[in-house]
Structure 1
Amino acid sequence: MELMRLGEFGSERPAVRHEGAVFDLGGLTADVTGDFLADGGLARVADALAAGSLSTVDVEGQRIGAPVAKPGAVVCIGQNYAAHAAESGSTPPERPIIFFKHPNTVVGPNDDVLIPPGAAKVDWEVELAVVIGRQARYLSSPEEALACVAGYTIGNDVSERSLQIEQSGGQWSKGKSAETFNPLGPWLATDVEDPQKLGLRSWVNGEPRQDSTTADMIFTVAQLVFDLSQYLVLDPGDVVNTGTPEGVALSGKFPYLRPGDVVELEIDGLGRQRQVFR
């Protein structure tokens, strides 16, 4: 099943996509939050689907919001694909590189992305995003980690490279945290069998940019959640962006984004995003 949130920003309603139809979850929860995920929310949705007790929703013309409301943290992994590390001029990391985005960067998958005043090096990054469903704190092994995951979705880790690199002072988050810089969605897939077997792709103005697979991650989802749990507590509803493959503007092969450019992202089984940069 795939959890969704539909409606205008700040007034989204919870829904679930299942076997080609979309059903209203308003009778089960006011929203898809960390508390809902932690308190057996997914099991209640599954039970309601099995019982046939949910009414359908017409999604035509409705805005799609981020699939989880107000994450407490957006934790990001840098250079988690060897080819992307190389195009960035770096050797593959021996331990995960961690940075944060402000949670208010999260918007819907098809919302406009706003280019900050004076920004000249705005870049795209298709990423597998992990939503935490159970607190991950000092896990004893990577094998425990996937049980803490509620599901998976698509994230665009939009970046302003001059702030990230040239004016960073060592803080990548400077170039990552502008408003609208983390489109998320369209849905939260809870039944992904293997997060390391997903193709991910991006396009700019219809031209291919990235085309890779999560099998090429240096650190797997299980390894990342385990590693993060050793020095911070991941709470239900938190988002982990797991890194991007090669094919971004930072490589020098493609121009940076300008107003009017259209970015599209896709991951197998997780749907598709489309943003206009303004």
Structure 2
Amino acid sequence: MSLRAAVLGHPISHSKSPALHLAAYGRLGVGISYTAIDVTEQLLPPLMRQIRDQPGWRGLSVTMPLKTAMLGQVDEVRGVAGILGVVNTVSFEEHGSSIRAIGSNTDVAGIVNALRHAGTGTAPSAVVLGGGGTAASAVAALKELGANRAEVFVRDTSRTAEVCAAAESLDVALVIRSLAGAARPAAEADVVISTLPPRAADGIAAEMAALKTAMPGVLLDVAYDPWPSLIASVWQAGGGTVVPGLEMLLYQAVEQVRLFSRLDKEVNASVIDVMCDAVGLPRRAL
């Protein structure tokens, strides 16, 4: 029986997940194929029924706009995914003669590990750009890093239910503000996590450049195509540390690889190195 996994989202043609996963499975010697499937929220339920009827599925990576919609398509939600209401990973487990779909969230670990790798300290002052599902994961990651407060800047302050619910569950105090006022607070923060779509932060970047001030903190821009983004370029010019979205994608994929391969231990450094090679990231220093 052939083993399968895939990344689901819309649009999905730009995804680097297949390169990351296939490199890992090749290094592990595990025969799991991995493809990208373009699917909308409306078409997700019939696709999930089809997947459940096909033997050999090990897991699904879930990206926008499906991270909330996937909640209703799994048999069980584990860990922080239940707190956030955001699922970016589905693993399939055998229970006797039946297969159960388990929803989890590896985005939080991806953000935490990417920021730690960049040298982020504990209890940073924090700004989050955007208010959707990935912003909710960003708040959970900041909590894990010791931050109990964050400023969240959004285009529409009435559409912040996901991130506000996450913050309340995690006991993180949020200040919600309009995206139009983000430039100076972002420039002064220890950590900025942009969860905005590609190019959506360009206006903020132009305003930050006009400030002509130092930006000594760490910026994680979740969007990685095109790269470098304008906000990343401005941040680097201001003297700050830039973490590309590929770093987050790498670390959340590492945990997915462990789940889909059914490893009973952490993914080792040699696997992570070939994953880095596959997407042009520097290998991890020992």
Greater share of strand residues, 1 or 2? 1
TM-score, reference length from structure 2 = 0.28
Pair member with larger Rg: 2
Return the TM-score normalized by structure 1: 0.28
Higher RCO (Cα < 8 Å, 6 or more apart): 1
